[in-house]
């Protein structure tokens, strides 16, 4: 894993992603993209779904991308990436390209991954393309103005799950997208957050070295969508991890491992209180919603711990075998 | 400059298309099965499995992904082809528009079929018409031989530097895709030499430097970029003519944008797309034998619409019956509208006939009837040939 100094030096020499784009101050996406690109050795091609990242970085005639980049539509980043990777295989095998391997990395938001892009992602994972799929997950359709998605958490206030005289925010639970991906039996999947950039970088390195599809579900803070101060972006991602709202783990060939264990579980209120999308959860009237959210977190964490414990032996054996 | 044909085989249109693909040896072929296109990809998959072409075949999970992967592969720097029909093309259409806009020269074999609902698997041009305004070029084959020849020609048209656009090669579902007839194949090396190397500016792989494809255009630039697409589609007509001439020079088969059949001194004529041309030629022959001055025009190139060539092909025609195998509910059907605009001011009277929706047969008797109606004043705004109730005499 490159240290911060090395990452900075790499960015200075050959930036994969330039500044000057129009993503919001405090947006969680750029540090994810920079850490991902900076952690992949050698040449790479980026593929984007429609979304905040694409719109804000490629306003014609400008581009923020220092690597070859393509965007086609909203629901098909994985399919486009599969096509690019297939062309790479075809051209490589008839000697039309250099010997240095190229890494393919797709970036899509939660809408483009959990919802409209799910089918294309499933197909690409099943076909086994060698590519890294990064979901920058800010938990709603932020680019179109904060509409709820399959990744939006229970009780969150969005423009299509508004709090009103009857509405209490989103009435459904968020999907477990990482588990859906793991069910495809791909060699590598992980959850990460920009606050833990070394953990993210290590996971990207592992993904890049994986012969097959890999998937990273990375929590991305969103000041306008979550209603938090731009300055709290990294802090909030850290709190998400430390409340067990967004545990950091990886799944290697179906085996789970927690990659960061918070010393103390922070109270859920610390996560909720910094965000306006949860501001209706203060007070007695909403206590049931908070209880349900807490239950969801506790269930998730205890299930993850059980999986981690059950797979510990497998990881030990792998390490002993030098894998 | 006709050459001696070395290989003639009895093939369906779908099989002939798969042979053309094998000989073109595309780098990537992402496909999804759908009737009546399926025999194309089945035959082609067998060629790949037998090592007859080293194409990377992607069995994707939908036509939307097929076209998405195709755009990625084509802009990455690999020659790319796919195949579809009907609902599959409908699902693809979003990305067909984008492929044209991003100037991805993908060749799409289409087994033209009706659109749902009700669901119907048979021949019809409604699917092609759905993609009509996408910016993808459209060719329509009359038979298996043309399906083969136009498929061989398509990559050169798609990849021409003045064009750089997707090309759809249509063949009528079942009428052509599943009808076996003798097809003269070119030698593998001849096709290889004809199509040449795939080259595009600024590929994602092996390019001079990083390039961004599919960027976001605001009102200050979108219009100009779309106008470039219009210019490219229009430029494709001349490029097609040149390629058809080259194809004839090399291989002895001439496939002009408009197939003019017995148009010398014709007073009445039919305008068609696709396999109806074969039936219409028989009818024209019969009526010519009876001393009637009738002719046929069949478009092989439908987008861009060969406007000037159509005007020039009219000769002394005073009435033109335009046969559409698709409708535009509430308005005149697409081929009629195009022909009407192209021939406005010529004084030629155009009549609209709709036939063959969902695989309804077009008989020689019905076409004789159409040509005889053309000799008299119009009986209806749009005539639905073979429709029960309206056209009980037209036979179905």
State the pLDDT confidence band at A29, using cuts at 50, 70 and 90.
very high
Q: How far apart are CA B55 and CA B79, in angstroms?
A: 10
Q: Which of B228, B251, B274 is the last residue of a domain?
A: B251
* CB-CB contact of B324 with B336 (8 Å): yes
State the pLDDT confidence band at B395, using cuts at 50, 70 and 90.
very low
Q: Which of A49-53, B165-169, B206-210, B265-269 has the lowest mean pLDDT?
A: B206-210
What are B214's two structure tokens? 């599919």
pLDDT digits (tens, 9 = 90+) for B218-254: 999 999 999 999 999 999 999 999 999 999 999 999 9
pLDDT digits (tens, 9 = 90+) for A247-286: 999 999 999 999 999 999 999 999 999 999 999 999 899 9
A91: which chain B residues are within 8 Å (Cβ-Cβ)? 27, 76-78, 205-206
What is the DSSP secondary structure assignment for residue A114, as one 8-state letter? I
Asked if residue B310 and residue B364 are part of one domain, the reply reads yes
Asked if residue B180 and residue B78 are part of one domain, the reply reads yes
**Residue B223 sits in a domain of what CATH number?**
3.40.50.970
Task: Give B53 to chain A, closest Cα distance, Å.
Answer: 11
Mean pLDDT of B7-12: 92
The string of DSSP letters for B180-241 reads -EEEEEPPHHHHHHHH-----SS-SSS-SS--EES-B--TTTHHHHHHHHHHHHHHHHHHHH
Locate the chain A residue with the closest alpha carbon to B97: A72
Average pLDDT over chain B reads 96
CA trace torsion A287, A289, A290, A292 (10° rounding): 120
Locate the chain A residue with the closest alpha carbon to B204: A68
Alpha helices in chain B (DSSP H): 13-24, 38-49, 63-76, 86-101, 126-130, 144-159, 188-195, 222-251, 276-289, 307-313, 334-342, 364-373
Count of domains forming chain A: 1
Whether residue B54 is predicted with pLDDT greater than 50 in this model: the reply is yes
Asked if residue B351 and residue B335 are part of one domain, the reply reads yes
Average pLDDT over chain A reads 96
pLDDT at B396: 42
Host domain of residue A79:
4-320
Mean pLDDT of A196-208: 97
* CB-CB contact of B105 with B68 (8 Å): no
* CB-CB contact of B136 with B168 (8 Å): yes
Residue B167 included in any domain: yes
Mean pLDDT of B332-358: 98
Q: Judge whether A259 is closer than 8 Å to chain B, CB to CB.
A: no
Residue B207 included in any domain: no
User: Rounded to 5 degrees, what are φ and ψ at B148?
Assistant: -65, -55
Q: Name residues whose C-beta falls within 8 Å of residue B315's C-beta, 6 or more positions apart in sequence.
A: B263, B264, B265, B266, B295
pLDDT at A119: 98
What is the DSSP secondary structure assignment for residue A41, as one 8-state letter? -
Asked if residue B59 and residue B12 are part of one domain, the reply reads yes
Q: What is the H or E stretch that residue B2 is in?
A: none
Asked if residue B275 and residue B150 are part of one domain, the reply reads no
Whether residue B393 is predicted with pLDDT greater than 70 in this model: the reply is no
B213: which chain A residues are within 8 Å (Cβ-Cβ)? 69-71
**Residue A89 sits in a domain of what CATH number?**
3.40.50.970
Asked if residue B31 and residue B177 are part of one domain, the reply reads yes
Asked if residue B228 and residue B82 are part of one domain, the reply reads yes
Residue B304 included in any domain: yes
Which has more pLDDT, A15 or B71? B71
Residue B19 included in any domain: yes
Residue B355 included in any domain: yes
Task: Give A7 to chain B, closest Cα distance, Å.
Answer: 20
Mean pLDDT of A286-297: 96
Which has more pLDDT, B263 or A2? B263
Residue B391 included in any domain: no
Half-sphere exposure of residue B330, counting CA atoms within 13 Å on the CB side?
Answer: 0
Task: Give B143 to chain A, closest Cα distance, Å.
Answer: 31
**Residue B356 sits in a domain of what CATH number?**
3.40.50.920
pLDDT digits (tens, 9 = 90+) for B27-50: 999 999 999 999 999 999 999 999
Q: Do A87 and B205 touch (CB under 8 A)?
A: yes
Host domain of residue B118:
7-184+212-251
Asked if residue B273 and residue B178 are part of one domain, the reply reads no
Whether residue B1 is predicted with pLDDT greater than 70 in this model: the reply is no
Locate the chain B residue with the closest alpha carbon to A102: B205
Task: Give B238 to chain A, closest Cα distance, Å.
Answer: 29
Mean pLDDT of B16-28: 98
pLDDT digits (tens, 9 = 90+) for A113-157: 999 999 999 999 999 999 999 999 999 999 999 999 999 999 999
Q: Which residue out of A80, A118, A119 would a mutagenesis test of the B interface target, given it has the greatest number of B Cβ atoms within 10 Å?
A: A80
Asked if residue B275 and residue B293 are part of one domain, the reply reads yes
A45: which chain B residues are within 8 Å (Cβ-Cβ)? 76, 204-205
Asked if residue B267 and residue B244 are part of one domain, the reply reads no
Whether residue B3 is predicted with pLDDT greater than 60 in this model: the reply is no
Count of domains forming chain B: 2
Asked if residue B164 and residue B111 are part of one domain, the reply reads yes
Asked if residue B286 and residue B359 are part of one domain, the reply reads yes
Q: Which of B251, B277, B303 is the last residue of a domain?
A: B251
């Amino acid at each position: 894993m490159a240290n911060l100094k090395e990452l900075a030096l790499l960015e200075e020499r050959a930036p994969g992603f330039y500044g000057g784009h129009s993503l919001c101050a405090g947006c969680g996406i750029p540090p994810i993209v920079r850490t991902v690109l900076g952690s992949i050795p050698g040449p790479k091609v980026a593929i984007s779904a429609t979304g905040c990242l694409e719109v804000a970085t490629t306003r014609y005639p400008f581009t923020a991308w220092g690597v070859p980049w393509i965007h086609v539509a909203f629901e098909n980043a994985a399919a486009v990436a599969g096509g690019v990777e297939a062309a790479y295989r075809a051209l490589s095998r008839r000697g039309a390209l250099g010997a240095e391997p190229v890494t393919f990395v797709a970036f899509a938001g939660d809408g483009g991954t959990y919802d409209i892009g799910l089918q294309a992602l499933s197909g690409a994972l099943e076909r086994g393309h060698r590519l890294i799929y990064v979901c920058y997950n800010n938990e709603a359709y932020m680019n179109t103005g904060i509409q709820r998605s399959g990744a939006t958490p229970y009780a969150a206030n969005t423009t299509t799950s508004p709090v009103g005289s009857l509405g209490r925010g989103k009435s459904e639970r968020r999907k477990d997208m990482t588990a859906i991906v793991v069910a495809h039996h791909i060699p590598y999947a992980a959850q990460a957050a920009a606050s833990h950039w070394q953990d993210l970088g290590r996971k990207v390195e592992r993904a890049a070295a994986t012969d097959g599809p890999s998937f990273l579900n990375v929590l991305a803070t969103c000041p306008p969508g979550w209603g938090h101060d731009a300055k709290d972006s990294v802090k909030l991602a850290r709190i998400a991890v430390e409340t067990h709202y967004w545990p950091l783990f990886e799944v290697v060939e179906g085996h789970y491992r927690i990659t960061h264990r918070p010393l103390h579980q922070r109270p859920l209120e610390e996560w909720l209180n910094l965000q306006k999308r949860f501001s209706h959860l203060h007070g007695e009237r909403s206590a049931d919603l908070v209880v349900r959210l807490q239950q969801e977190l506790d269930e998730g964490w205890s299930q993850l711990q059980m999986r981690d414990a059950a797979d510990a032996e497998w990881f030990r054996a792998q390490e002993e075998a030098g894998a | 400059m006709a050459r001696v044909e070395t290989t003639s085989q009895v093939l369906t249109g779908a099989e002939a298309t798969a042979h053309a693909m094998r000989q073109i040896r595309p780098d990537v072929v992402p496909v999804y099965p759908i009737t009546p296109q399926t025999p194309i990809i089945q035959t082609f998959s067998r060629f790949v499995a037998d090592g007859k072409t080293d194409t990377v075949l992607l069995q994707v999970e939908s036509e939307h992904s097929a076209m998405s992967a195709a755009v990625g592969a084509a802009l990455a720097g690999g020659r790319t082809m796919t195949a579809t029909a009907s609902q599959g093309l409908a699902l693809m259409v979003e990305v067909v528009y984008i492929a044209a806009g991003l100037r991805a020269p993908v060749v799409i074999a289409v087994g033209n079929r009706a659109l749902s609902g009700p669901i119907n698997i048979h021949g019809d041009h409604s699917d092609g018409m759905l993609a009509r305004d996408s910016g993808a070029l459209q060719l329509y084959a009359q038979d298996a031989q043309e399906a083969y020849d136009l498929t061989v020609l398509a990559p050169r048209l798609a990849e021409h530097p003045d064009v750089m656009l997707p090309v759809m090669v249509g063949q009528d579902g079942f009428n052509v895709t599943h009808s076996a007839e003798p097809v003269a194949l070119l030698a593998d090396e001849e096709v290889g030499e004809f199509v040449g190397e795939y080259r595009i500016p600024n590929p994602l792989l092996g390019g001079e430097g990083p390039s961004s494809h599919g960027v976001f255009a605001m009102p200050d630039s979108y219009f100009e970029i779309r106008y470039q697409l219009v210019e490219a589609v229009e430029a494709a007509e001349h490029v097609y003519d040149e390629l058809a001439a080259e194809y004839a020079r090399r291989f002895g088969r001439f496939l002009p944008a408009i197939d003019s059949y017995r148009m010398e001194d014709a007073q009445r004529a039919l305008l068609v797309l696709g396999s109806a041309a074969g039936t219409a030629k028989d009818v024209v022959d019969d009526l010519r034998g009876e001393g009637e001055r009738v002719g046929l025009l069949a478009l092989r190139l439908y987008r861009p619409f060969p406007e000037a060539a159509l005007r020039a092909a009219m000769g002394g025609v005073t009435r033109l019956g335009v046969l559409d195998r698709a409708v535009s509910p509430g308005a005149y059907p697409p081929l009629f509208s195009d022909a009407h605009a192209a021939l406005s001011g010529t004084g030629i009277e155009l009549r609209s006939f709709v036939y063959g929706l969902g695989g309804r047969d077009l008989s020689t008797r019905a076409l004789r009837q159409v040509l005889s109606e053309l000799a008299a004043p119009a009986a209806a705004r749009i005539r639905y040939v073979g429709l029960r109730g309206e056209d009980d005499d037209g036979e179905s």
